[in-house]
Homo-oligomer: A and B are copies of this chain.
């Protein structure tokens, strides 16, 4: 937790005083080992970052006076379209997504997405937000990504994706593609990544019809968890 993410509800007098309990309090006590008088990095969700001076700290409650003066890091101009991964992989991908500054994520169906994945509690708004917040705290950002679920492939790719990806470099990662993934795109990107086992040929054709280029990282097939940061880093 390189930044303590605060929410409007944490403020006690509508001004600069914050009261925290629960997970953040425990982390500040146990990992940061903070004491009254210490200054911590803080940020307000959707807003600025700054410093909080601890005025009170015990096992139940922390109070801070906060000053929020700096803008959070720049967002990444990337829309990520990800075939819904298995729940335990999704849990790990979400903090990476928010830490890298991605602000728009579509989790979509595909032929090789197991139906049961759509029933996982990991897809609940609460669980998704908790994982995204971990990434923001890691990267010292305050802007939560928007996450959209699309459980039907064809209507999403045919009706929604062309407008979403307009005026962006639109690429779909596909191990057997001929074209190498571009480096350092220098502008907005829409990146699609398939499920374990990849998109099927029909799905790749649908992406191509929507204006996407199929690109490869070479001979090695990476897991979704590794491919996401690897591709994002390559493209920016």
- A positions within 8 Å CB-CB of B: 2, 73-74, 92, 95-96, 99-101, 138-141, 183-184, 218-223, 225-227, 229-234
Contact = CB atoms under 8 A, between A and B. Distances in A.
Nearest to A96: B226
Contact of A220 (B95, B140, B221, B225): B140
B99 A220 contact: yes
Copies of this protein, total? 2
Given A229-B230, A233-B229, A233-B230, A222 B99 contact: yes
Contact of A96 (B138, B141, B223): B223
Nearest to A3: B221
B99 A226 contact: yes
Contacts of A101: 220
Given A101-B220, A218-B73, A230-B230, A225 B138 contact: no
Contacts of A183: 183-184
A231 B223 CA distance: 16
10 contacts: A2-B221, A73-B219, A73-B220, A99-B222, A99-B223, A100-B230, A101-B220, A222-B229, A225-B225, A229-B230
